[in-house]
C-alpha cells in the first residue's frame, strides 16, 4: 500500500517543480518592478511608527520558499534528481543575491544590503527548520 502512495506522489513531482520555478521567476521579476508603496512607515490611528516592513517581507518570502521545499521533501518529492538540498540552497541563495544586485539598474529601485541580509536570514531560519525536522524524523 505504501508503494502505491509513493507512486501517486511521483505523479505530482512535475507540478511541484513547475510551481517552484514559477515562484522563482515571479520573485526574480518583482526585482524589476517599481513600487509606489512606502513599506517603512505604519500608521495606526494618529500614531505613525517607523518600521522596516520591507525587511520582514524579504525574510518571510525566503522562509516560505524553504518551507515549500520542506513540504515537498516530507511528501517524498524532489526539486532536483541528485543532491536536491544542496542544489536548492545554491539556487535560492543565487536568487536572493541576484534580485538585489539587479536593482542597481532598475529606476526607482535600489540595491539594499539590509534587504539582502533579510533574504539570507529567511533562508537561514528556513534551513534551520529543515534540519530540525530532519533530525526529528531520524529519531522517530
Q: Which of 19-23, 47-51, 68-72, 95-99 has the least mean pLDDT?
A: 47-51
**What residue numbers bound the domain in which 105 lies?**
2-139
136 falls in which pLDDT band (50, 70, 90)? confident
Cα 25 from Cα 19, distance rounded (Å): 10
On the CB side of 11, CA atoms within 13 Å amount to: 6
What is residue 37's predicted lDDT score, i.e. its pLDDT? 60
Q: Is the pLDDT of residue 35 over 80?
A: no
Q: How far is CA 10 from CA 77, 78, 130, in A?
A: 7, 9, 21
Query: Which cell numbers hold the place of 99?
Result: 534580485
What is residue 16's predicted lDDT score, i.e. its pLDDT? 95
pTM of the model: 0.80
Q: What share of the chain is helix, strand, coil (3-state, %, to 5)?
A: 70, 5, 25
In sequence order, the β-bridge partners of residue 49 are: 42
Mean pLDDT of 87-98: 97
112 falls in which pLDDT band (50, 70, 90)? confident
Domain count, the chain: 1
Amino acid at each position: 500500500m505504501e508503494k502505491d502512495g509513493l507512486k501517486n506522489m511521483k505523479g505530482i513531482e512535475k507540478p511541484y517543480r513547475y510551481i517552484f520555478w514559477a515562484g522563482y521567476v515571479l520573485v526574480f521579476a518583482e526585482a524589476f518592478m517599481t513600487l509606489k508603496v512606502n513599506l517603512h512607515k505604519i500608521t495606526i490611528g494618529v500614531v505613525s511608527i517607523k518600521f522596516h516592513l520591507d525587511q520582514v517581507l524579504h525574510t518571510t518570502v525566503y522562509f516560505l520558499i524553504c518551507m515549500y521545499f520542506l513540504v515537498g521533501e516530507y511528501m517524498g518529492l524532489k526539486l532536483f534528481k541528485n543532491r536536491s538540498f544542496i542544489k536548492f540552497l545554491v539556487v535560492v541563495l543565487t536568487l536572493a543575491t541576484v534580485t538585489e544586485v539587479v536593482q542597481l539598474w532598475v529606476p526607482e529601485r535600489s540595491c539594499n544590503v539590509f534587504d539582502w541580509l533579510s533574504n539570507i536570514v529567511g533562508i537561514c531560519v528556513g534551513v534551520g527548520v529543515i534540519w530540525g525536522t530532519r533530525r526529528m524524523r531520524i529519531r522517530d
